[in-house]
Structure 1
């Protein structure tokens, strides 16, 4: 019996969309998210699935005790807290020791060690490697460490310095046997991220990578955060979309980025991208709901296969 062209093409489209959906849900497994102590304090309940990794940002005006309290709450609510440890913000070896011991005491076993955004070095630590080399993480029973990745470069260190730092972190992971992963700044251009991942892999990186991206937010908010964080290419990308005031208040969702990353990871067996990390610039609860829905497959792939719409 003859098959109508429209039926044949429709079946092909359905199969293609199913393939895209499978790639997206695969990449979204084990997603993580960022929170601040102030955000957590406003929530009656942390609206996340059990076992979700939650990075706790250490803001410039934050007190270590607030981070520790937030971490303790996350442990109690069956999440996995990943507090930031900002090297240049720490005033002394004693401050680092006290902070990490306080975290370990409430059940923290993971951390994100970063240089930190302080304009001037506050104490003896100039870089994340200075903190890692203290040996405190091994002594206190930490099992997993994340370090920063910069697909678009960093305003604090040049390309040569970034390459050296990444090589040092790979070497430290081998020397210590610690489970180490890279967690990147947020980006909007998947092609740029894919190019960067391949470049650092060819240069010797063997650490798995968690790609940072913003959750749903207005373009105005995304522009503000891109400018604050010095994400140059992303700022340029967003500026082209913000041609008028109406567009500035338009909500932007990261579905296109997620689809592009999913396709790239699915087509390259050597790719080291291991998951996604959400920055909730448009609100923590909104981002948490969005990420959980996508990970559970509650979305519809768009007809052109370039994005999707969350359905519940």
Structure 2
């Protein structure tokens, strides 16, 4: 959710299980008060806030400390998501999320778990070599500080690159929980707009596999097929046993991008879970 989504959270609260992690973004057009108020609202409603810390949007170390201090006062520093952020030029001393992590400040303000970004289909502006090196460096730094790490990925339409990427993460000795990003139900045009922005594969074959067609952009698409197929692939490898190549995927969970709104995503997740039981 964004800082402006508190009314949407209030609308969706009865459809979201207690204790659910809800990420709170760090957008350039929202201020400190709005971000902290949103994180506090998440906490007050019985969920676990995961505030984003956008490295390139921080103008100074003092601004980072002020944000962490306010979040701590709101009881919202147990889990955070540290990202590089969108600005091409950093607004302060932090070039990327690794710069924030290695300050050591997160521990000082009660942080226990840090989510870091993963890109199964790469990043349009960052080479794969740089992405892998950054993931390894951040994972190592968090481990050395005694902080739990979770890898939260960009969303995808195709399970094949996701599974291949998970295999590569594990091959590098990184055993953290991976939360695979997937959009909740949303308008097809909106989904494709985000896909283009983030460099996500969306050709005719891929989106058909996901569950919609490029010839009809007026409807809504949900992640039913993607989640079902991903679950089946992970379950099949688990049954194959640890001695089978590619079977050791470790802990893998989901993270929903609520492009269509918190309530629509929460209702989808509840109905999907009910249908599987």
Residues in 2 aligned to 1:138 and 1:105: alpha-carbon distance in whole angstroms: 15
Residue in structure 2 matched with residue 63 of structure 1 by the alignment: 31
Residue in structure 2 matched with residue 39 of structure 1 by the alignment: 5
Residues in 2 aligned to 1:149 and 1:211: alpha-carbon distance in whole angstroms: 9
Q: Please give the TM-score of this superposition, normalised by the length of structure 2.
A: 0.89
1:213–1:279 CA contact under 8 A, matched in 2: yes
Greater Rg over alpha carbons, structure: 1
Residue in structure 1 matched with residue 169 of structure 2 by the alignment: 200
Structure 2 residue 217 is the aligned partner of structure 1 residue 262: no
The structure whose RCO (Cα within 8 Å, separation 6+) is larger is 1
Following superposition, the deviation at residue 117 of structure 1 comes to: 1.3
Structure 2 residue 58 is the aligned partner of structure 1 residue 80: no
Q: Which stretches in structure 1 are left out of the alignment for 5+ residues?
A: 1-34, 301-312
Following superposition, the deviation at residue 45 of structure 1 comes to: 4.3
Following superposition, the deviation at residue 205 of structure 1 comes to: 2.0
2:24–2:50 CA contact under 8 A, matched in 1: yes
1:223–1:235 CA contact under 8 A, matched in 2: no
Residues in 1 aligned to 2:208 and 2:86: alpha-carbon distance in whole angstroms: 24
Greater CA drift, 77-86 or 214-223 = 214-223
| 2:259 corresponds to which of 253, 264, 281 | 281
2:182–2:254 CA contact under 8 A, matched in 1: yes
2:11–2:263 CA contact under 8 A, matched in 1: no
1:227–1:235 CA contact under 8 A, matched in 2: no
Structure 2 residue 264 is the aligned partner of structure 1 residue 298: no
1:265–1:273 CA contact under 8 A, matched in 2: no
Structure 2 residue 49 is the aligned partner of structure 1 residue 49: no
Following superposition, the deviation at residue 155 of structure 1 comes to: 2.2
Following superposition, the deviation at residue 239 of structure 1 comes to: 8.9
**Structure 1 residues 260 and 239, CA gap change in structure 2 (3 angstroms):** closer
Residues in 1 aligned to 2:31 and 2:130: alpha-carbon distance in whole angstroms: 30
**Structure 1 residues 239 and 230, CA gap change in structure 2 (3 angstroms):** farther
Residues in 1 aligned to 2:112 and 2:11: alpha-carbon distance in whole angstroms: 27
Q: Please give the TM-score of this superposition, normalised by the length of structure 1.
A: 0.79
| 1:272 corresponds to which of 247, 250, 266 | 250
Write the mapping of 1:72-221 to structure 2, written as runs, cut at 5 A: 72-108=40-76, 109-221=78-190
2:224–2:272 CA contact under 8 A, matched in 1: no
- CA offsets, 1:241-273, max 9 Å, x none? 5443xx101221111111111112212342134
- CA offsets, 1:35-93, max 9 Å, x none? 11112245544422210100011122121221100111111111000011011111111
Residues in 1 aligned to 2:138 and 2:47: alpha-carbon distance in whole angstroms: 26
**Structure 1 residues 218 and 46, CA gap change in structure 2 (3 angstroms):** closer
Task: Tell me the number of residue pairs that the alignment of Structure 1 and Structure 2 aligns.
Answer: 262
